[in-house]
Amino acid sequence: MTTRNSPDLIVVGAGVVGAACAYYAARSGLSVTVIDRGPVAGGTTGAGEGNLLVSDKEPGPELELALLSRRLWRELSDLLPPRIEYEAKGGLVVASTGPSLAALGDFAARQQEAGVEVHEVMGDRLRDLEPHLAPDLAGGFHYPQDAQVQPALAAAHLLRAAGGQGSGRTLLRLGEEVTGVLKGANGEVRGVRTASGDLHAPYVVNAAGTWGGRLAGLAGVDLPVLPRRGFVLVTEPLPRVVRRKVYTADYITDVASGSAALQTSAVVEGTPAGPVLIGASRERVGFDRTLSVEAVRRLASQATRLFPVLAGVRAIRTYAGFRPYLPDHLPAIGPDPRVPGLLHACGHEGAGIGLAPATGMIVARILAGDELPMDIQPFRPDRFGTAPPPMPRTPRKETRHGA
């Protein structure tokens, strides 16, 4: 039973998506409790590179979400401390052959029609943008709208900012695992259960990342979120050898693939602190964190082909993370019509950091009954079932702040 001290909503997950949901909800005047079984950014967020990309997205709902998020990240960069390391450095997608460059050109033309800023760069001009690139590339496309943040810091500062928002209040409960979803007599959400006891609220937001499917199961619904493992190589600190996020055309294909097998494609970027980050690999192996020597070998080989100067640089560590994968590569965002009061904000795969602000804003506006910034039907959480009923634009309003 909710009481005067109960929050308006509970956000399960203290990664960057959960932090963004808390931030925008608090800004709307709602009281929020964020709960996580681990630390802030202890899951996918802490293992991410911080990419804020439009360059890898097909025209459609995800690109629209990314363009909205890009605008919001720019606003947040002025509000949050510089320590989140927001860099509007742009991205460069390169091709090694003429046919590959032509395919990239077709992709870029469709993106441009959808509002993406993109410029073709001929092979002999690539080194004007990235002096250390291999000299034999056919060409590429420059995306000035791509950017980067330090993801763990971004999540932490979003949560801190959420705690200072107007009439709302945000509490953070870490090290508490949600073991059940409480329901009322009509199946509506009434809060969550943890080992420390029950926490009541009329709304629960599932921002549990790769564990989003498990949390949905606790609420009695199916959401087929699966972990998709990836490795990142980290070099010793260097002068700014790589100025932008640079990746090959194969990366776009891998992002859109549903294969469970190991896939690798060179993604190389510098950081303000000096180390170069090298990705990206993808494979579905459950939550197995075992080091894949083959994945790391491929990443190193592909990165040095792209940037030969890296052949003489030491890799000082590697780490693994799990992307929350859904079969159609779109996140689940919004109310679940199967369980009144349950909202989802998970399944963003490798784009969660970039898409977090738009996701958080959408969730907050749904709860406040405000106009949504875009059509969210493609993200409906029950779309994997058969013949779903129409999804309501907003759940019923039960907040105490008139939002």
Q: What is the pLDDT of residues 187-233, one digit of tens each?
A: 999 999 998 999 999 999 999 999 999 999 999 999 999 999 999 99
291/1: higher pLDDT: 291
Give the three-class secondary structure for 206: strand
Asked whether residue 52 carries a pLDDT value surpassing 50, the answer given is yes
**What would the pLDDT profile of 72-100 be if each residue is shown by its tens digit?**
999 999 999 888 999 999 999 999 999 99
200-232 core/surface letters (b: 16 or more CB in 10 A; e: else): bbbbbbbbbbbbbbebbebbebebebbbbbbbb
pLDDT at 256: 66
pLDDT at 254: 66
* Residue located via tokens 């953070």: 172
Question: Which has the minimum average pLDDT: 5-14, 152-161, 191-200, 251-260?
Answer: 251-260
pLDDT classification of 53: cutoffs 50, 70, 90: very high
Asked whether residue 186 carries a pLDDT value surpassing 50, the answer given is yes
Fold of domain 90-145+226-325 = D-Amino Acid Oxidase; Chain A, domain 2 (3.30.9)
Interval 33-48 mean pLDDT:
95
Asked whether residue 49 carries a pLDDT value surpassing 50, the answer given is yes
Cα(168)–Cα(16) distance, integer angstroms: 19
pLDDT classification of 3: cutoffs 50, 70, 90: low
Interval 365-390 mean pLDDT:
85
Per the structure block, which two tokens stand in for 82?
């510089």
Among 340, 312, 370, 349, smallest CA distance to 210 is for 349
Interval 263-270 mean pLDDT:
90
Are the C-beta atoms of residues 346 and 330 closer than 8 Å to each other?
no
Interval 294-314 mean pLDDT:
95
Q: SS3 string of 337-363?
A: CCCCCEEEEECCHHHHHHHHHHHHHHH
Per the structure block, which two tokens stand in for 6?
């109960």
- The residue extents of the domains of the chain are 1-89+146-224+326-403, 90-145+226-325
pLDDT classification of 262: cutoffs 50, 70, 90: confident
385/176: higher pLDDT: 176
Asked whether residue 2 carries a pLDDT value surpassing 70, the answer given is no
pLDDT classification of 4: cutoffs 50, 70, 90: low
Asked whether residue 149 carries a pLDDT value surpassing 80, the answer given is yes
Asked whether residue 396 carries a pLDDT value surpassing 80, the answer given is no
Number of other CB atoms surrounding residue 169 within 10 Å:
17
Cα(308)–Cα(302) distance, integer angstroms: 10
Please name the CATH architecture into which domain 1-89+146-224+326-403 falls.
3-Layer(bba) Sandwich (3.50)
Same CATH fold assignment for domains 1-89+146-224+326-403 and 90-145+226-325: no
